[in-house]
Amino acid sequence: MEKTNINFVSDMNSVNDSVNVVVGCGLAGIVIANKIATELNEPVVIMERKDHIGGTCYDYVDSETGIHVHKYGPHIFRTNSTEVWEYLSKYTKWYPYMHRVLGVIDGISVPIPFNLDSLHKALPVTLADKLEEKLIEKFGFNTKVPILELRKTNDKDLNFLADFIYEKVFLKYTLKQWGVKPEQLDPSVTGSVPVFIGRDSRYFQERFQGIPFDGYTAMFERMLAHPNISVMLNTDFLKIKNTVQYKRLFYTGAIEEYFDYKFGKLPYRSLDIKIETFNVPSFQEVSVVNYPENYDFTRITENKQFLNDKSDKTVLTFEYPMDFEEGKNERIYPILNPTNQAIYDQYLAEAKKIPNVYFLGRLGAYRYYDMNRTIQGSFETFNEIMGK
């Protein structure tokens, strides 16, 4: 697809009470701006705090190696929605990438989510055969079982297996990632990586999967290149909040920050991301390898594998989880529990009282939203303003 130009502006001349202001130039902000510009034919100004577009999905071509690097960690697009897939496909071709993850347990690489092949790689053949038979009998073939549910079975062999998987795959990874044990987390978190009683080694099963052919940033550039859209980088909306006029405001930053923390802070886990170039053409078998037991990082991503970039070097990303601290790192994973949900609900109730202001995206919802859900959220907001 052809290269396009975004209308970057650095002053407030185009901001007045007849424009739509979008705060945040991540996926949620880009989609709502694109819909308003192309379908409503109205002007939009996007204000972004960072010095680049794309938010957490931003990627760049590393100048030394020519490899596309996912700056904030690996991003694999997937959706079951034809509407979402066709919408993005107007702005990108797709590299038909299917995600496979390995986890190193006891020094052996096994498919993650743990499946019947992992079972056979990790345990002796006679034991693995027996456990496979019992798993299929109890849960059926091609089924997904959350680890905490597997631990509840009465069968002693399945209990042994459940404890093995819990210890080796979940416990230490969860402690590293979240700083707490799996049972202290909202079940939606541990349930998102179940044990799979089958042999499909793909990490995702959605109908449409892939990586934008020339990267996420190139796709976003095309979505933003419209005469109705202007983008202001290095602009923190909250610093100029009182001076900004708008017809409608779409806020994709953290809802608690918008309200100046009046109901308290919303906690998040964050990541320290280290990106390093190594002088070898290939480092690992698949793009992402998890290390539940060893090291302080949770996983290593080999960026060149997403788009099959050719280089005699490789660029690796190491993710070190940590707590979110204002001004030090990014809000990444919301810590969902009843206390935090109650705080969020207060912000949401406050948000609903303000006319023509909409909160969207992962930070507006205080949820871990994948890209599909983020896009669906922006579609929903667009339908709301259209009165649908």
Ligand X SMILES: Cc1cc2nc3c(=O)[nH]c(=O)nc-3n(C[C@H](O)[C@H](O)[C@H](O)COP(=O)(O)OP(=O)(O)OC[C@H]3O[C@@H](n4cnc5c(N)ncnc54)[C@H](O)[C@@H]3O)c2cc1C
Return the number of the residue (99 or 151) whose C-beta is nearest ligand X: 99
**DSSP run (H or E) holding 58:** none
One of 15, 29, 114, 290 touching ligand X (CB under 6 A): 29
Rounded CA-CA distance 297/318 in Å is 6
**Chain centre to alpha carbon of residue 71:** 12
Residue 72 interacts with ligand X (CB under 6 A)? yes
Residue 335 interacts with ligand X (CB under 6 A)? no
CB of 271 to ligand X, least distance (A): 6
Residue 237 interacts with ligand X (CB under 6 A)? yes
Judged on CB neighbours under 10 Å (0-12, 13-18, 19+), 227 is exposed
| DSSP state, residue 305 | G
- Give whole-number Cα distances, 247 to 18, 223, 244, 350, in Å: 5, 22, 10, 20
CB of 2 to ligand X, least distance (A): 25
Residue 253 interacts with ligand X (CB under 6 A)? yes
Rounded CA-CA distance 38/25 in Å is 17
Q: Are 36 and 382 in contact (CB under 8 A)?
A: yes
- Other C-beta atoms closer than 10 Å to the C-beta of 3 total 9
Rounded CA-CA distance 194/168 in Å is 14
Cα Rg for the chain, rounded, in angstroms?
Answer: 22
Backbone angles phi, psi at 251, to 5 degrees: -105, 115
The site string for ligand X over 188-227 (x = CB under 6 A, - otherwise) reads ----------------------------------------
CB of 23 to ligand X, least distance (A): 5
Return the number of the residue (139 or 366) whose C-beta is nearest ligand X: 366
CA 116-208-386 angle, 5° bins: 135
Residue 369 interacts with ligand X (CB under 6 A)? yes
Return the number of the residue (107 or 327) whose C-beta is nearest ligand X: 327
CB of 126 to ligand X, least distance (A): 37
The site string for ligand X over 114-153 (x = CB under 6 A, - otherwise) reads ----------------------------------------
CB of 284 to ligand X, least distance (A): 17
Residue 27 interacts with ligand X (CB under 6 A)? yes
Residue 362 interacts with ligand X (CB under 6 A)? yes
Return the number of the residue (72 or 382) whose C-beta is nearest ligand X: 72
Residues of this chain that interact with ligand X (CB under 6 A) are 23-29, 47-50, 55-57, 72-77, 236-238, 252-253, 332, 361-363, 369-372, 374
